[in-house]
Structure 1
Amino acid sequence: MGTILLGFFLFIVLINLLYFFGFFAFATAGIKNKLHPGKAVSVIICAKNEAENLRNFLPSILEQEYSQFEVIVINDASTDETLEVIEEFQAIDPRVKCVNVENNEAFWANKKYALTLGIKKARNNFLLFTDADCAPQSKNWISKMSQHFQPGISIVLGYGGYFKHTGSLLNKLIRFETLLTAIQYFSYARLGSPYMGVGRNLAYTSQLFYDLKGFASHLHLRSGDDDLFINEAATSENTAISFEIDSQTRSVPKNSFLEWFKQKKRHVSVAGNYKFKHRFLLGLFYASRLLFWVLFTTLLILRIFPEVVLAALGIKLLLEAFVYVKSAKKLDELDVVWLFPLLDLFLIFLQLAIFISNLISKPKHWK
């Protein structure tokens, strides 16, 4: 019985190692600078009760060193001063365009409806999306993201990280989870099977949006304006990734565990609508990580080949450390890597809690 249990454990270890070998696709990726396309870009921001964030972060969009862009700011039925703030910026900068969305019975609190109205307002084919609480990390953000719109490329996946708060364990956990997610979606894209992007930093063409009839296939779902659209639209041929520092954005992280937990519930709730191959691969990745620790603990407690079990742990951690360090250097997240064994273990059980919670009660609104 002990030999069978050990054999199953080593099989799970192998699955874990294969995933992280796959993540080499991003961890070892180089940056290829391309000739700037000089295309006109529409930056699109959907804002719901974001008056303060717009005051703080919209200037960093308007300060971009790019000659041809407009900023479409959507007031999604806000109850604070969001509309007034947008109009203030519009009065002083003609590049700012306002789309005012009021709730209606058919599309109550539906971000996809608001985004669709914003996209229809855009004058340009190249659309660059971010959130109201996001700030580009350089004045070349639009330039670096849009340079990937070469012939045949209609989607650009960027990195949307979070601001660092020194000494906050929650902040490190949030940023580590964001790092791991980015490693996955960048690696899958590099391997020819893109499956998601994040709305904090994402670009695609309006032509692609209209060709797919927008969010029509998942308009009934409250979440998924970014990842479900990319899951449906992205292919190995039409998708590029942009991860250099100048192309990144940072946004304000949640400052309470409960708020972050609710945010992750919204994100996870749409994963069941991904293509089958992506659901299978992502599910296997999570299951193999959970089973590793369950079997590892069981084998050590039963003292079944403890030397082999500990050696397997060491090999796994060394491979993961290589991937995390190389990836974190690219994404400026090195300070969270040193805690990765503990943070990774916590995330596994957090994901289990989110899965169970979503079975009981799924989130209904984007805010």
Structure 2
Amino acid sequence: MVFTILFYTFVVATAIQVVYYLFFCSFVFEKKKEKNEDVNIPISVIVYIKNNADVLTEYIQHLVKQKYHSFEIVLVNNASIDNTIDILEELQKQYTNLKIVDVKNTEAFWGNKKYALTLGVKAATHEHLLFTEIGSKILNEDWISEMACNFSQEKSIIIGYQKLKRKKNSLNNVFIRFHHLLNSIQIFTYTKFGSPYRATNHNLAYTKSEFFKVNGYINHVNLFIGEADLFIKDAATKINTTYSTDINSFVSSRKKTTFKEWFSLQKKETILISLYKKKHQFLLRLFKVSKLVFYILAIYIAVINWAIALPFIIGYFTLLYTVLGKAASKFQEKNVIILLPFLDICLVLLQISIFISNQISKPKHWK
């Protein structure tokens, strides 16, 4: 009797996982989207800066080489304590399309990133905005063009992709990028189906009108998390939001994230998920829970009767390799699926560890 109940629970968990991955197929295997090659809108590129003096000159010299007919660069310096402002002022003398927004700490908004970005939006000359941060590297001279060509009369919010920096001979790095790949598949798939829930401020575009329509970050300005995600929650709809997966629109993180940093970030992001719309909370958690149940019961049933469990396990990993393999190719992350079964199991174990860790020590909002 117990075995029968657990078996049917296993079947249900497997079915849920299969439905999710078939759902992901619609994005992963979609044909290349048509571009609006005639786009000629001026763009304000808003760059967030916080104590980045060491890489600032190289970054700006690279960014100004973008092959786009009309753009300004709004440099938002959020109360840096190094010599960032001195370098920015020197660079402004060299490049006429640089605009500096030097944000000072105030008692009400001390070190507040959302406050600083709001000042950047207000200072921008143009209606169409493209956001990034010094922590990311622009990979192609057509980055602005590739993001801008997604704007249209209907589409006013464009979600871009940020790659994580690769570290050779590092299993931790492979695992972190595998987790990032799986998250990215979900982000773009949900957006494709008109239910956007997440983005990164390292590669995100939208209009001033959309920003002010929801009063910017007003609903969560005092939370030191989620400037992109919670803006998407407030402003994005199935009509006004799209995405870019052209490789020329990608950016890449400049820093190799350590496992300790990644684990701490995952703990803190549990706060963010709790602030999403209820339907997104449910769907994201159902995916994780069904995966956990699948593995636990797959092991149990295999021990009792491996012949029953084996077809389910083979079918699951075949689907996993097919979907994630195609996605890895799409996002130029092919090497992350070499150890796919191992990484997928480790992901479940890490999720359990994060849950336990959060029960012991609640994460705090980060700055």
Judge same fold: TM > 0.5, yes or no: yes
| Distance (whole Å) between structure 1 residues aligned to residue 139 and residue 308 of structure 2 | 45
State whether structure 2 residue 233 is matched by structure 1 residue 263.
Answer: no
> 1:289 Cα shift?
1.1
Partner of 1:81: 83
CA gap of 1:81–1:172, structure 2 versus 1, over 3 A, is farther
Structure 1 position 16, deviation (Å): 0.4
Name the residue aligned to 1:11: 12
- Describe the SS at the equivalent of 1:273: coil
Stretch moving more, 339-348 or 209-218: 339-348
Amino acid corresponding to residue 363 of structure 1 in structure 2: K
Residue 196 of structure 2: aligned partner: 194
Q: In the alignment, is residue 296 of structure 1 matched against residue 298 of structure 2?
A: yes
Partner of 2:323: 323
Contact 1:198 1:227 in 2 (8 A): yes
If the length of structure 1 is used for normalisation, what is the TM-score? 0.95
2:217 maps to 215
Q: Matched residues in 2 for 1:178 and 1:341: separation?
A: 16
Give the residue type in structure 2 aligned to 1:215: Y
Q: Using the TM superposition, give the Cα deviation of residue 132 of structure 1 relative to its aligned residue in structure 2, in angstroms.
A: 0.5
Preserved contact between residue 44 and residue 129 of structure 2 (Cα < 8 Å): yes
User: 1:240-260: per-residue Cα shift (whole Å, max 9, x none)?
Assistant: 110011010011244422122
2:146 corresponds to 1:144:
yes
Deviation per CA, 1:110-165, whole angstroms, max 9, x where unpaired? 21111111111111111111110212221100000010001111110111112222
Q: Distance in 1 between matches of 2:63 and 2:323?
A: 32
Per-residue deviation, 1:196:
1.0
The structural deviation recorded for 1:321 is 0.9
Which has the higher mean CA deviation after the structures are superposed, 184-193 or 48-57?
A: 48-57
Q: Any conservation in 1 of the 2:57–2:87 contact (CA below 8 Å)?
A: yes
Alignment of 1:53-92 (within 5 A): 53-92=55-94
Partner of 2:175: 173
Alpha-carbon distance change, 268 to 50 in structure 1, aligned in 2, over 3 angstroms? farther
- Tell me, which stretches of 5 or more residues in structure 1 are unaligned? none
Structure 1 letter corresponding to 2:27: F
Contact between 1:36 and 1:143, CA under 8 Å: does it hold in 2?
no
Residues in 2 aligned to 1:70 and 1:354: alpha-carbon distance in whole angstroms = 42
User: Which of these residues, 151, 157, 160, is aligned with residue 158 of structure 1?
Assistant: 160
The CA deviation at 1:330 is: 1.2
Cα distance change, pair 57–349 in 1 and its aligned pair in 2 (3 A) = farther
**Structure 2 residue aligned with 1:353:** 353
- 1:37 aligns to what? 39
- How far the C-alpha of 1:30 sits from its partner, in A, is 1.9
Residues 256 and 97 of structure 1: CA distance in aligned 2, closer, same or farther (over 3 Å): same
Alpha-carbon distance in 2 for matches of 1:333, 1:256: 18
> Quick one: percent identity of the two aligned structures?
38
For residues 77 and 357 of structure 1, the distance between their equivalents in structure 2, rounded to whole angstroms, comes to 33
What is the CA–CA distance in structure 2 between the aligned matches of 1:265 and 1:109, rounded to whole Å?
22
CA contact (8 A) 1:110 1:365 kept: no
SS in 2 for 1:75: strand
Report the Cα distance in structure 2 between the residues aligned to 1:310 and 1:357, rounded to whole angstroms. Answer: 33
Residue 261 to residue 253, structure 1, CA distance change in 2 (3 Å): farther
Task: Indicate the residue corresponding to 2:106 in structure 1.
Answer: 104
After the TM superposition, which of the residue ranges 253-262 and 189-198 deviates more from structure 2?
A: 253-262
Give the TM-score of the pair, scaled to structure 2. Answer: 0.95
Q: How does 1:303-314 map onto structure 2 within 5 Å?
A: 303=304, 305-314=305-314
Across the aligned residues of Structure 1 and Structure 2, the Cα RMSD in angstroms comes to: 1.6
C-alpha spacing 1:57/1:308, structure 2 compared with 1 (3 Å): farther
Separation of aligned partners in 2, 1:265 and 1:28: 32
Is the 1:57–1:133 Cα contact (8 Å) retained in structure 2? no
Give the equivalent residue in structure 2 for 1:23. 24
What is the CA distance between 1:232 and its match in structure 2? 2.0
Distance 2:148 2:183 in 1: 22
Offset of 1:293 from its aligned partner?
Answer: 1.3
CA distance in 2, matches of 1:56, 1:307: 59
Query: Aligned equivalents of 1:84 and 1:349: distance in 2?
Result: 47
Q: C-alpha displacement at 1:89, in angstroms?
A: 1.9
Cα displacement (A) at 1:6 = 0.8
